[in-house]
Structure 1
Amino acid sequence: MQNVTAVAHRGDPYRFRENTLDSLRSALALGADAVEIDVRLTRDGVPVLLHDETLRRLWAHDRPLRALSADEVRGLTRGAVPTLPEALLATEGSRVMIDLCGRVDRRSVERTLDVVRQCGAGDRVYYSAHAEAVLAVRAADPAAEIALTWTSLAPPRPAVLDAVRPRWLNYRFALVDRDLAARVHHGGYLLSVWTPDTRRSMRRLLDVGVDSITTNRVDVLTALRGEILRDGIELDGIVRGDMVRDDVVRGDVVRDAG
């Protein structure tokens, strides 16, 4: 359980605005193994970090991102919406899950992958999205690491899995139980879930055997993971101590019998 990958959803959004450099850095400082970021293209084809179609919720500008140039976005947000290269530089040395948002087409996928390559980050970036988007990723990069997002209890069709060739199957956390986890692992895939934010939900998912948890509360997850690791070490020490004592007792019995 202690080996579960802790993925920070949009960074550390309880402390900093989501998908900003401060949010990403904070998540990594809290012990995240990876950060999840949402990527969209501006009008002039620059990949930037934004989950929504517009700047309204986070930046109080009801302007569609696809209608704005990168310079216009920078001006409206005072430079606070990072470009993908800025985010990759800020997370250098750490894993990054890129969630491909919005209307994903071949151009946006290829542009995003090109930037990742140019930044020399191909070995630490992986991509999550629904089937249509990750099919475009697979077509653009046969070696890309993919987490296929799936929102149904019915398993992905074999034809989809054969075409996408994901490493991960990525489920909404409430769908996941022991049977689903066993099915995913039996198929040879790793199991990723999003986005449990309570300790109770995280503990349940660790108990059923998920491989990765994407959460808004990476501080809670890393603390829980640490507790489980410490408890496991303590339990192992107790068991080993009992075994040693049993060996000593058995030796005494043998000597007495002799």
Structure 2
Amino acid sequence: MLLNLLEKTVDGYFAVIPRDKPPMETVKSARLIAHRGAHNHAEGIIENTLAAFNSAKELKCWGIEFDVRTTADKVLVVNHDATLKRLWKQDRAITDLSFNELRALVPDVPTLNEVVAAYGESMHLLIELKAPFQDEDLLVEALNGLSAGENYHLLTLDSAIFYSLSQFPKDALLLVASHCNVHQFCKTSLNEDYGGVLGHYFLINNKIVNRFKAAEKIVGVGMIDSKYSLYRELNRGVNWLFTNRADELNYYLRHF
């Protein structure tokens, strides 16, 4: 709760500080990533659903970020939370449900296969693996036909998950740093030769940006939800931009 309040305060601060417009070439390099899709709960477009991903595609977002969990009968599905309570008012854990039970309870929770089939060749997939994750073979099967690094990257907040993977190239793996491990995750990403690092824009300082750019690695930040935050990141050379306001950010990028 306190951390969320702090993040909102920081976001509000950066949203009102005027920034110079970045050069047009820099703007063209922006890779806008709709966090859990281009969701809008007030309009009935729920996060991590095909409706949210369709909206992101219509907005011409470069990528979509979403979360993967496993049902009791080993089907990979897309949902952020371990349970269905927050979004769907069903106090059931996904790991306790078969896929058929889940589909009967909440038809709008898509499978990873459905998302890959619908968007794998039109938007970059940023696939967050939620702990515990022990289904690499299923993931390989679902992503068969796509190219790691070109069509998708795997994300996690739990570095142990990446250590457990053996069938994906390291440059397709991106650690997501938090306030308590940003320096450790940056070190791990470079030492393990992962694809790069992601994190809150306030945590990913210029020293980190320059270090990863020098190593020719990816640096991505979120949540970029205002015009001046967008300008700030582009001006410091960060172009992997995660947002909860894809429609607004898309407008700023297309009306320079």
Aligned ranges 1:10-25 → 2 under 5 Å: 10-14=36-40, 15=43, 16-25=45-54
Instruction: Give the C-alpha shift of residue 162 in structure 1.
Output: 3.4
Aligned ranges 1:199-210 → 2 under 5 Å: 199-210=227-238
Q: State the partner residue of 1:60.
A: 89
Aligned ranges 1:21-100 → 2 under 5 Å: 21-77=50-106, 79-93=107-121, 94-100=123-129
Cα distance in 2 for partners of 1:157, 1:178 equals: 13
Percentage of pairs with the same residue = 27
Q: State the partner residue of 1:249.
A: none
Instruction: Give the C-alpha shift of residue 80 in structure 1.
Output: 0.8
Aligned ranges 1:62-141 → 2 under 5 Å: 62-77=91-106, 79-93=107-121, 94-104=123-133, 107-117=134-144, 120-123=145-148, 124-130=151-157, 131-137=159-165, 139-141=166-168
Residues 161 and 80 of structure 1: CA distance in aligned 2, closer, same or farther (over 3 Å): same
Secondary structure of 1:134's aligned partner: helix
Q: Summarize deviations over 1:20-63 as a string: whole Å, max 9, x none.
A: 11110111101200111110000111000000010001111000
Contact 1:176 1:205 in 2 (8 A): no
Secondary structure of 2:139's aligned partner: helix
Runs ≥4 residues deviating over 4 A = 157-160
**Structure 1 unaligned regions, length at least 5:** 229-258
Instruction: Give the C-alpha shift of residue 158 in structure 1.
Output: 4.9
Q: State the partner residue of 1:216.
A: 244
Contact 1:31 1:219 in 2 (8 A): no
Aligned ranges 1:163-242 → 2 under 5 Å: 163=192, 165-228=193-256
Contact 1:53 1:102 in 2 (8 A): no
Secondary structure of 1:71's aligned partner: helix
Secondary structure of 2:183's aligned partner: coil
Residues 158 and 59 of structure 1: CA distance in aligned 2, closer, same or farther (over 3 Å): closer
Cα distance in 2 for partners of 1:133, 1:17 equals: 27
Secondary structure of 2:143's aligned partner: helix
Instruction: Give the C-alpha shift of residue 166 in structure 1.
Output: 1.7
Instruction: Give the C-alpha shift of residue 153 in structure 1.
Output: 4.4
Cα distance in 2 for partners of 1:5, 1:205 equals: 12
**Structure 2 unaligned regions, length at least 5:** 1-25
Q: State the partner residue of 2:10.
A: none
Instruction: Give the C-alpha shift of residue 76 in structure 1.
Output: 0.3
Secondary structure of 1:154's aligned partner: helix
Of the two, which has the highest radius of gyration? Answer: 1
Secondary structure of 2:242's aligned partner: strand
Cα distance in 1 for partners of 2:219, 2:175 equals: 10
Secondary structure of 1:43's aligned partner: coil
Q: Summarize deviations over 1:113-144 as a string: whole Å, max 9, x none.
A: 22111xx223412111132222233x222366
Q: State the partner residue of 2:177.
A: 150
Instruction: Give the C-alpha shift of residue 178 in structure 1.
Output: 2.6
What TM-score do the two structures reach when normalised by structure 1?
Answer: 0.79
Counterpart residue type for residue 211 of structure 2: R
Q: State the partner residue of 1:4.
A: 30
Secondary structure of 1:174's aligned partner: coil
Say how many residue pairs are matched: 221
Q: State the partner residue of 2:21.
A: none
What TM-score do the two structures reach when normalised by structure 2?
Answer: 0.79
